Structure 1
Amino acid sequence: MRKTILSLSAAAVALTGAGIAYAQRGDRPNPDANGDGVVTLTEMKAHGNELFAKMDANGDGTINADDRQAHHEEMFAKADANNDGELSQDEMKAMHEARKERREERRAAKAGNREERMAEHFAKMDTDNSGGLSQDELRAMHEARGEHRGGEGMREGKRGMRGKHGMGGGPQMMLKMADTNGDKAVTRAEFDTALAAHFAKVDTNRDGKISTEERDAAHKAMRAEWKTKREARQAQ
């Protein structure tokens, strides 16, 4: 079989397209540090600190093209198993397989965590430990979520969230939000401001933490926005 070789520049594009861009690696940290199913602002800030440190490759306090290039080269070096400065077809295949394995591991872990959270959530709602939920318990649950009390604020928050980005847009999307002056570089001050704004947008009931439901709603809004933009591009 003919050996297919990619140049460094072409391989960098392939690495990004394969989902192994520097800001979206499979080992990215989880903002829910204690695994309780909600993300507090403190957890989000700690998550942001870790992300910024990873993306700021040269540690100069700004994320720019130099950092992106450094991370692309790092990813290329990892994929170039025989260190010949080129990626063969086999190396590209191995890279895709590794990405697939990481994705499956994350899905399995997410499914397990979801079941555990559901059990814990049910136990909290079942206040009399009867093994079932009464109408009063269901009503209390809805009120706690803000679906009855403060419902207008909840709906207003959801409308506001239909803007640019929701939770889970990924580090690259966060960088795009943070680059307020459009200079293709993100300072730490810009990053922190964007992080706080991002958290406030997803925290629709303003309780200072992001629940699973709020994260899911943000993901749904984000996917809907991507679909709209894609359809608009196709229509041009």
Structure 2
Amino acid sequence: MKTPIIALAGISLLAASAAMAQPGERNTGPMTRADVAQKTAERFERRDLNSDGVLDLADRELRREQRIARIDTDGNGAISKAEREAAQEARQARRAERAAKRGENATARGERRAMRKIHRGGMRGMRGGGMMVRADANGDGRLTLAEMQAHALARFDRLDANSDGTVTVEERKAAREAMRAKRAERMEQRRAQRSGQ
């Protein structure tokens, strides 16, 4: 029983670290099913660090080792406060550079990111581990390319309101607004339940 739970937790952490390691990938134009399948395959290949055809705890451990090696600039096997601060400054500089390329206000984007992080942190436990865990169709704690693509394409189909095989910017915006409205409704229901108790 412990092994599947640990494996699912590992996949969730792998997904979070992989998502954080791939900023700025977001496509702002229309996307087709073929685009989604291709991007999912590319992401899977980047995340499958040991090239064994599955995302699992081994990939998570390799990513952790790579991250430590990147931050450990003096190569002593430990991360000092100075190395940690230097890594954080470099990360912030990269984010500001990407925001400038997109013509965004880095401060406003940072505030939105912080709010999303707070929200996700509060919701993660209730969702049972996030998108990567939900994509694990057979529940074995190992995510295959087929599972990842099936999950991505199912999400694509939900967003493709007119079922024309292309998700437009407008469809994505409408889906985000609907999700926000649904989330606000759930929060309101929770408040009402708490005040009634």
Q: Please indicate, yes or no, whether the TM-score normalized by the shorter chain is above 0.5.
A: yes
- Per the TM alignment, residue 225 of structure 1 is displaced from its structure 2 partner at its CA by 4.3
Which residue in the other structure is 2:88 paired with?
96
Residues 195/226 of structure 1: CA separation in 2 closer, same or farther (3 Å cut)? farther
SS at match of 1:78: helix
Q: Which amino acid aligns with 2:41?
A: N
Which residue in the other structure is 2:65 paired with?
73
Residues 218/86 of structure 1: CA separation in 2 closer, same or farther (3 Å cut)? farther
Report percent identity of matched pairs: 31
Q: Which amino acid aligns with 2:149?
A: D
SS at match of 2:75: coil
Which residue in the other structure is 2:122 paired with?
none
Which structure would you say has the larger RCO, counting Cα contacts within 8 Å and 6 or more residues apart?
Answer: 2
Which residue in the other structure is 1:60 paired with?
52
If the length of structure 2 is used for normalisation, what is the TM-score?
0.63
Of residues 35, 39, 42, the one that matches 1:43 is 35
Q: Which amino acid aligns with 2:36?
A: M
Q: Distance in 2 between matches of 1:66 and 1:226?
A: 38
Which residue in the other structure is 2:171 paired with?
214
Contact 2:24/2:98 (CA < 8 Å) preserved in 1? no
If the length of structure 1 is used for normalisation, what is the TM-score?
0.54
Name stretches of at least 5 consecutive residues in structure 2 with no aligned partner. Answer: 1-12, 105-128
Which residue in the other structure is 1:191 paired with?
148
- Matches for 1:54-203 after TM superposition, within 5 Å: 54-111=46-103, 173-203=130-160
SS at match of 1:21: helix
The structure number with the bigger radius of gyration is 1
Q: Distance in 2 between matches of 1:107 and 1:179?
A: 33
- Per the TM alignment, residue 222 of structure 1 is displaced from its structure 2 partner at its CA by 6.5
Q: What is the total number of aligned residue pairs between the two structures? A: 152
- Per the TM alignment, residue 76 of structure 1 is displaced from its structure 2 partner at its CA by 1.2
Q: Which amino acid aligns with 1:25?
A: A
- Per the TM alignment, residue 50 of structure 1 is displaced from its structure 2 partner at its CA by 0.8
Q: Distance in 2 between matches of 1:78 and 1:224?
A: 41
- 1:22 and 2:22 aligned: no
Which residue in the other structure is 1:119 paired with?
none
Q: Distance in 1 between matches of 2:134 and 2:155?
A: 9
Q: Pairwise CA RMSD of aligned residues?
A: 3.3
Residues 26/192 of structure 1: CA separation in 2 closer, same or farther (3 Å cut)? closer
Residues 58/102 of structure 1: CA separation in 2 closer, same or farther (3 Å cut)? same
Contact 1:80/1:87 (CA < 8 Å) preserved in 2? yes
Residues 201/64 of structure 1: CA separation in 2 closer, same or farther (3 Å cut)? same
